[in-house]
Amino acid sequence: MTMTATLTNGTTGWTLQDGEDGPQSLVWMPEGATEAETIAVLTASRNQDAPTTAERLEIERAGMVVSALQARLALGESGVAALDALAAHADTPWATKEAIKNASEWRRLSPLMVDLGAALKYTPAQMDKLFRAAKRVQV
């Protein structure tokens, strides 16, 4: 039987249906989740216990993708100053400098973003908070 997922409630509510006449389920996913990700989460949840808090956080982080402008605006003036100073510093790795200056989007789970957060002395929770704030910035 084929499962389909349809975005039905803004950007986070999905209705899933098993086949044409099968049961429907409403699933809430992180903003930006794809149909395939939604089906995978629902299928996994039917085959095992509900995801743990850590698993839900990893699912959320996988959907944390923002534009560089959204991230910079969420950082604020002092955060952007620290970011730009990092890009200008001689000891900063070349790839990190390029990511700061030229990335069009930031992905929370990207190794460069993890390194960037560490360089800015952000904890993982602070990086999550930054990405959540950036996702709310409308440009």
Residue 28, amino acid: W
pLDDT of residue 54: 85
Strands across the sheet with 13-18, in order? 3-9, 13-18, 24-28
- pLDDT of 68 over the 90 cut: yes
pLDDT of residue 88: 96
Tell me the whole-structure pTM to 2 decimals: 0.65
Residue 6's SS3 state is strand
pLDDT digits (tens, 9 = 90+) for 41-54: 766 666 556 677 88
